Homo-oligomer: A and B are copies of this chain.
């Protein structure tokens, strides 16, 4: 018994339809047809889970027809398919341009069955024909080794949202409709998914959608009632709370609740139509008056039983309308003949003989219910974004260069300079490029962009906003303090054929580790799917980096995103750490033009020393790593020591260490190496960018000490180079999780990455220096202590360290 008699009847998913809209737009004949279409789809969903032979039950069901291993999820299929097929009617009636986003976990059968019924599946995969044999293949491949998955994977026509990890349906949908003014993204949101943080905040996306230049998202919150083993929160709060919640989020909720098929068909048809008309009405209002505003966009709350149309009970246990229908609904068909019989009875209850003709094709009167050509949601080219992708018009990045007259002497803001380049990209690509970020674009010194495109804001305005608020209805910069939402928008935007970049503080990019993982996985699989065209790369610009988070303290110091990215497929990921502005421009240009990658660029936002003129920068970035001869003293000979760096602040300190060595130990042969493209370090066999052992040796030697100053955790370098000969000579320093409220110098010293520690490390590895080395070591140690004491008392590093320049 439920505790204390709080059983709620009003929230039951069963019974005759209760709905906000009470129109009955369908004739009896239409109800019959849509119901049959629904049954056909349900039959396919169930068939996918169970059958490998005898797909249309033309002979009695036997064990040999059943897959050996039963996999797949039944729970959310009905509600999703129900929504899909009723939207088909409106697509035909109003010639809508729509895609379908399937948020609920493991809901692929709903999408796959509809793709098959409307013919898209067979067009995409000609061997899966619309006949008995094709249906057999269609069934067997599902959740079968070598086949297709239970999510809307890249193999699924019409999908831009796999839904393997939950929470991103709404943000992906918004990303897809930005700058696609005619598009409607019909978006199913699972009520389990709706409990995730990313989904819970993404409802606010309406404050960033322009009704003139953007399309619309029509969310259908599927109150399926249960997750794996639990009720969902939103299915167990009062109707009043639920309605308030969505009004609070800024939507107009329409309810469709029940299980009775006839009335539910009418209710869903009428409600979807009302929503489409509302959407078109708001768009027309804004567009006719050229006056953008934020309407209360419609959304639907669809409450149906989990596992709808399945058996209500199996033995003593609830199935339909309970969490037991989440996955494979009858699990013991292999061992219990009566369960096999029950399955057969259930399959036959959909009357497949009446829905599919003799060849096994959907009968014509049902086939007519689906739209045609690209209007079919699974055939919409938006969902194969590479098809629509126009080239990004990138101005010559060289024109934004910093004139480096002498390396290591002038300072410049690499990031603000990069901002001017981004500004021109925005200006040249107003219909296809946006910049995303969680409230940090200005803090990250990229505000030059605002000259070409300001921040989109459809919330209310205050007078103060005129004082540099940079808010507009129709902008190019998308900022909300949710890394999840802005990342989701960007993913949706590029998956549907456009280009973009996200900028973030380095420490907080870990918040979207998992999203980026999932996008990498999507890209990798998509690139194996022949019909999928390449999409623009996902560009992640990380700044406010660890070495300049000395004052924000320990919580703001974490460069470990690179470790997460480095685990992903080498076909997909690229990591760049440009040491100065011209390198950042060169790398940025490359990334923005590329496709099907996840590019991570790490560069600090403060002013930094500049090293390479543009030609040198291009050459250096093209090679990915190289010797900086102007900083070296080995003159082409074997060096005594190699000073290597990767990252802008590390390069600065390594150069300063090199200068200290030259000052205190004139005559030693130093080679200075810089790495821009991190994957250059890995063996050529393991990453397309990896260099050969010969190339590696030519740079780092095989037997000389290498003092490698790395931007991130030092172990990543060891993980990339453990196979290299001479790796034992590699002394890598980097962030070792040592920090608090410090000066930049103190933070570096704690982690052994400051100039003094680096120079001392080098001396320690050159025993041949003898007493000369010991004396220099002592001196450097004293200078380090002196600088440290000064910083501790004054709160800033000594002037000479702050203004240090390359002296040669």
Contacts and interface: CB of A to CB of B under 8 A. Distances in A.
Interface of A: 1-4, 6-8, 11-12, 52, 67-69, 71, 143-151, 153, 162, 164-167, 192-193, 195-202, 204, 207, 227-233, 236-238, 240-250, 291-293, 316-318, 321-322, 324, 439-443, 455, 457, 459-473, 479-485, 507-508, 510-511, 513-514, 517-518, 521, 524-525, 550-556, 558, 560, 563-564, 566-569, 713, 715-716, 718-719, 722, 727, 737, 740-743, 746, 791-792, 794-796
Contact of A149 (B242, B440, B552, B569): B552
Contacts of A292: 3-4
Contact of A518 (B3, B166, B555): B555
24 contacts: A2-B466, A2-B471, A3-B472, A7-B463, A68-B796, A145-B741, A151-B553, A164-B554, A164-B555, A195-B485, A196-B197, A197-B200, A200-B482, A227-B439, A228-B439, A229-B470, A241-B248, A243-B248, A510-B513, A511-B513, A511-B514, A517-B558, A569-B737, A719-B722
A518 B144 CA distance: 40
A507 B71 CA distance: 19
Number of copies of this protein chain within its complex: 2
A1 B746 CA distance: 46
B232 A481 contact: yes
A555 B515 CA distance: 11
Contacts of A715: 566-567, 719
A741 B11 CA distance: 38
Nearest to A441: B229
Contacts of A250: 237, 241
Contact of A8 (B242, B461, B718): B461
Given A3-B461, A461-B6, A718-B722, A167 B746 contact: no
Given A201-B196, A461-B6, A481 B229 contact: no
A553 B149 contact: yes
Q: Label chain A's interface by main secondary structure.
A: loop
Contact of A192 (B145, B147, B439, B737): B439
A557 to B, nearest CB: 8
B553 A792 contact: no
A321 B200 contact: no
B795 A69 contact: yes
Nearest to A572: B737
A198 B197 contact: yes
A260 to B, nearest CB: 18
Nearest to A11: B460
A740 B472 contact: no
B795 A237 contact: no
Given A195-B201, A236-B460, 15 more contacts: A12-B462, A145-B791, A146-B742, A150-B552, A151-B553, A228-B442, A231-B457, A231-B465, A236-B459, A236-B462, A241-B248, A243-B248, A245-B249, A508-B514, A719-B719
A676 to B, nearest CB: 21
B479 A230 contact: yes
A554 B231 contact: no
A20 B465 CA distance: 28
Contacts of A560: 517, 563-564, 567
A457 B67 CA distance: 38
A690 to B, nearest CB: 14
A480 B228 contact: no
Contact of A248 (B149, B229, B246, B737): B246
B231 A469 contact: yes
A167 B197 contact: yes
Given A465-B2, A467-B318, A555-B518, A204 B228 contact: no
Given A67-B795, A466-B2, A197 B201 contact: yes
B795 A464 contact: no
B195 A197 contact: no
Contacts of A230: 439, 455, 457, 471, 479, 481
A241 B458 CA distance: 14
Nearest to A207: B233
Contacts of A196: 197, 201, 481-484
A294 B70 CA distance: 40
A551 B328 CA distance: 13
Contacts of A470: 229
B164 A556 contact: yes
Closest 6 CB pairs of A and B: A164-B555, A245-B248, A197-B197, A236-B459, A2-B461, A244-B248
A7 B461 contact: yes
A261 to B, nearest CB: 21
A55 to B, nearest CB: 16
Contacts of A148: 741
Contact of A466 (B1, B164, B207, B553): B1
A331 to B, nearest CB: 14
Contacts of A518: 555
Contacts of A441: 229
Contact of A459 (B233, B245, B567): B233
Contacts of A316: 467
Nearest to A739: B521
A525 B510 contact: no
A555 B462 contact: no
B521 A510 contact: no
Contacts of A566: 715
A485 B167 CA distance: 14
Contacts of A716: 719
A363 to B, nearest CB: 31
Nearest to A488: B197
A564 B513 contact: yes
A530 to B, nearest CB: 15
